[in-house]
């Protein structure tokens, strides 16, 4: 796995604006989360890189290793943590607090998700609960555990999805959980704003070329083709590095006047 900085191609970069900060990025073993973790580390943050299963046991240390290679002062701490487990969520918070220079958690990026597709007629209790647990319940309770350790200037980012508004077949539960995160964001922006000095925002990607997308059903991918071809910015799917700079901006000090927002990372894809 190789990570290129989305700013490298434009010469000397913003680089070190997260030095001294500590960030949790859930689901950062691969895909969009891996790109976000690597970039926050490149900007100098200590990043807790999480994975769950055996399949990612090799991948997560590669992300942490990439952070060390940037030599930006950032650190990657690899941790096995299933965010549906209360014990693992607390472990994640404890490790983040212990690992950073200030013993605080400056940034929480809720990226991990279960993206399984299912037609309405086939949804079972088990499918519903599994997806709601990962995509909606875990971010709420991880936020609840992290907030007492977050200083003023803290940043919470929820990775949602354009699917929340698109009405694509097979996304009943997934799109509903993403819409729920958009609601969390606006409520938490109020609850954690003036009192805590924390901003809360969503970054909402359109289709992005990751395993989650490639593992989608053929019908789902087929349904998106006309939209992808007519994407205003370019006739293509998004890439991980189209999303990463939006998140790193939201994590930076410069985004202080942005909260309760949904930042669209869709290339202008037509949404219904
Ligand atoms: N790809 C797209 O087209 C697209 C479009 C819109 C929005 N998004 C959103 O972008 C985010 C990242 O998507 P992606 O495509 O990069 O996904 P991905 O490649 O499937 O990666 C998912 C990540 O989530 C982790 N994860 C899953 N269940 C977890 C759990 N219970 N506890 C902790 N971590 C867990 C996985 O860990 P393991 O590696 O250990 O399994 C993996 O690191 C998601 O929120 C997704 O909904 C993606």
Domain span at 133: 16-264
Q: What is the percent of the chain where pLDDT is above 90?
A: 85
114 in a structural domain: yes
- 102: domain CATH number? 3.40.50.720
Amino acid 216: pLDDT: 87
Q: Is residue 272 part of a domain?
A: no
Q: Which atom of ligand 1 is nearest to the CA of 29?
A: 43
Evaluate whether residue 8 is within a structural domain: no
Determine the 3-state secondary structure of 110 from DSSP: strand
Does residue 100 lie within any of the structural domains? Answer: yes
Which numbered atom of ligand 1 lies nearest the CA of 112? 24
pLDDT of residue 1: 66
Ligand 1 centroid – CA 228 distance (Å) = 21
pLDDT of res. 9: 46
Residues facing 48 on adjacent strands = 24, 77
Per-residue pLDDT tens digits for 26-56: 999 999 999 999 999 999 999 999 999 999 9
21 domain-assigned? yes
| 115 CA distance to ligand 1 middle (Å) | 7
Give the Å distance between the CA of 211 and the centre of ligand 1. 8
Quote the tokens at residue 207: 């289709």
**Quick check: 247 and 34 in contact, CB under 8 A?**
no
Residue 77: strand pairing partners: 48
DSSP secondary structure code for residue 22 in this structure = E
User: d(Cα 72, Cα 258) in Å, to the nearest integer?
Assistant: 26
Residue nearest to atom 11 of ligand 1 (CA): 111
pLDDT digits over 55-77, tens only?
999 999 999 999 999 889 999 99
Tokens 């999303």, residue located: 243
Tokens of 198: 């924390």
pLDDT over 70 at 162, yes or no:
yes
In a domain, 6, yes or no: no
Count of the separate structural domains present in the chain: 1
Does residue 11 belong to any structural domain of this protein?
no
Q: Is residue 116 over pLDDT 90?
A: yes
Query: Region 210-220: what's the mean pLDDT?
Result: 87
Task: Answer yes or no: is 9 within a domain.
Answer: no
Express each pLDDT in 216-268 by its tens digit: 888 888 888 999 999 999 999 999 999 999 999 999 999 999 999 999 999 99
């Amino acid at each position: 796995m190789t990570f290129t900085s989305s700013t490298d191609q434009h010469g000397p970069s913003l680089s070190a604006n997260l030095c001294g900060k500590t960030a949790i990025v859930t689901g950062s073993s691969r895909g969009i989360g891996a790109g976000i973790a690597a970039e926050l580390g490149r900007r100098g943050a200590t990043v807790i890189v999480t994975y769950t299963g055996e399949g990612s046991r090799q991948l997560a240390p590669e992300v942490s290793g990439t952070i060390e290679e940037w030599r930006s002062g950032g650190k990657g701490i690899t941790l096995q943590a299933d965010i549906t487990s209360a014990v693992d969520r607390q472990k994640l918070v404890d490790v983040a607090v212990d690992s950073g220079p200030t013993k605080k958690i400056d940034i929480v990026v809720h990226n991990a998700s279960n993206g399984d597709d299912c037609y309405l007629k086939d949804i079972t209790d088990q499918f519903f609960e599994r997806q709601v647990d990962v995509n909606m319940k875990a971010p709420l309770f991880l936020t609840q555990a992290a907030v007492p350790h977050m200083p003023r200037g803290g940043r919470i980012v929820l990775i949602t999805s354009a699917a929340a508004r698109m009405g694509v077949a097979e996304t009943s539960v997934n799109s509903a959980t993403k819409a729920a995160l958009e609601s969390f964001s606006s409520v938490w922006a109020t609850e954690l704003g003036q009192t805590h000095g924390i901003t809360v925002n969503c970054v909402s990607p359109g289709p992005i070329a990751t395993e989650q997308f490639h593992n989608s059903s053929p019908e789902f991918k087929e349904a998106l083709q006309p939209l992808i071809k007519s994407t205003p910015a370019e006739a293509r799917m998004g890439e991980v590095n189209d999303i990463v700079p939006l998140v790193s901006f939201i994590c930076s000090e410069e985004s202080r006047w942005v909260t309760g927002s949904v930042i669209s990372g869709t290339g202008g894809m037509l949404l219904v």
